Amino acid sequence: MSQSLKRIHHVEFVVGNAKQAAFFYRKGFGFDQVAYRGPETGCPDRVSYVLKQEDVFLVLTTPPRHDDPLNTWLALHGDGVRDVAFEVTDLDETYGRAVAAGAVSHSDPAELSDEQGSVSVAVIKAYGEVLHSFVKRGNYPGFLPGFELRRLPGTPVGINCIDHIVANVEDRQMDRWVKWYDDTLGLSRFVSYDDKDISTEFTALRSTVVASGDLNIKFPINEPADGRKKSQIQEYIEANLAPGVQHLALKTDNILETIAKLRANGVDFLPVPDGYYDTVWDRVGEVAEDRDEVRRLGILVDHDDDGYLLQLFTRPLQDRPTFSIEIIQRAGSESFGKGNFKALFVTIEQEQALRGNL
């Protein structure tokens, strides 16, 4: 069934100031601005900027008028992801199956048109206040009808696709959402990590990854687990006031170059804990990348039976401790950096403590 979901079409964020957010993602992460929709293009209620880097499309949307209900969304959650949109091969079939399996509809299939052609879209509700749009493009040449080509080049950093998108849900809700993704979208359980895999002396979480058969779509779903102190997942849910998207993992084929450029752009990454590189090579073994460079750039490394991966996480990208970005390069491994969880979580606990949320 999941063949009906072709790929992630775009990820839409609701933000307080889309103009400035677009500048941030363009200058910080190297995206090109490619399209725009707003009052000047006949859309008085919403302003959206579309950013692109290879296959990654981000849409940044602001409600410019005070009486738009999207302002309530912003007041509750702060800047964050509102829609993870899929391109689908058969809209009626995908949407019909999802709703029949229990998904709550946000909007029925409808055709959007402009002078360039038309695209059909339907939307369902997922965890928290996150939506999934289904987009059936046909031969439409632009981003979506209603958007105007408005190009402002960025300086690409080598990001080429979305690797995975992580959901944080409430305690004891993970299994429910795993089943929901299987029932409604045909995304099945790929791997699970329990609280023994993902814990420190103080905090813990559980995670199950659901994925499409071709692994083009991978959604880890996290829930907090009991620990001596507050799980980072609980901190997220309290700051977001709801379940939501915790991070977007963006893939590169050259993480040394990508991280060097992002650091030069001033992107703020979580620091690597003291002593990490004293033991990591014993754990991971041979990698093609220069070890000194990996260390100099503060990149994390992990491996499994199939190969290894390199990854690094930003600090939250807004003042609430909610959404962040991961940069990942895979060399055979299709896992998520289990070997780094402990090291990473010690760092996150230190940051939680500084925020008074541990």
The smaller minimum CB distance to Fe ion, of residues 118 and 200, is found at 200
Beta carbons of 25 and 58 less than 8 angstroms apart:
yes
Residues 155-194 that bind Fe ion (CB under 5 A): none
The smaller minimum CB distance to Fe ion, of residues 249 and 267, is found at 249
The smaller minimum CB distance to Fe ion, of residues 162 and 239, is found at 162
Task: Give min distance, CB of 54 to Fe ion, in A.
Answer: 19
Task: Give min distance, CB of 327 to Fe ion, in A.
Answer: 10
Provide the 10 A C-beta neighbour count for residue 276.
Answer: 18
Residues 293-332 that bind Fe ion (CB under 5 A): 326
Type of residue found at 317 = L
Task: Give min distance, CB of 336 to Fe ion, in A.
Answer: 5
Task: Give min distance, CB of 349 to Fe ion, in A.
Answer: 18
Give 77: exposed, middle or buried? Use CB within 10 Å, 0-12, 13-18, 19+.
buried
The smaller minimum CB distance to Fe ion, of residues 147 and 336, is found at 336
Task: Give min distance, CB of 232 to Fe ion, in A.
Answer: 13
Residue keyed to tokens 């001596």 = 228
Alpha helices in the chain (DSSP H): 18-29, 70-77, 91-100, 174-185, 232-240, 255-264, 276-284, 291-296, 338-355
Closest of 133, 106, 122, 82 to residue 242, by C-alpha: 82
Closest of 251, 186, 176, 232 to residue 208, by C-alpha: 176
Q: Does 249 bind Fe ion (CB under 5 A)?
A: yes
Task: Give min distance, CB of 245 to Fe ion, in A.
Answer: 11
The smaller minimum CB distance to Fe ion, of residues 2 and 222, is found at 222
The smaller minimum CB distance to Fe ion, of residues 277 and 341, is found at 341
DSSP state of 169: -
The smaller minimum CB distance to Fe ion, of residues 61 and 240, is found at 240
Task: Give min distance, CB of 213 to Fe ion, in A.
Answer: 20
The smaller minimum CB distance to Fe ion, of residues 235 and 326, is found at 326
Region binding Fe ion by CB under 5 A among candidate stretches 77-85, 90-98, 246-254, 350-358 = 246-254
Separation between Cα atoms, residue 299 and residue 48, nearest integer Å: 33
Tokens for 141, please give them. Answer: 């040449």
Terminal-to-terminal C-alpha distance of the chain: 42
Give 100: exposed, middle or buried? Use CB within 10 Å, 0-12, 13-18, 19+.
exposed
Task: Give min distance, CB of 348 to Fe ion, in A.
Answer: 13
Separation between Cα atoms, residue 168 and residue 174, nearest integer Å: 9
Q: Does 233 bind Fe ion (CB under 5 A)?
A: no
The radius of gyration of the chain's CA atoms, rounded to the nearest angstrom, is 20
Q: Does 210 bind Fe ion (CB under 5 A)?
A: no
Binding site for Fe ion (CB under 5 A): 249, 326
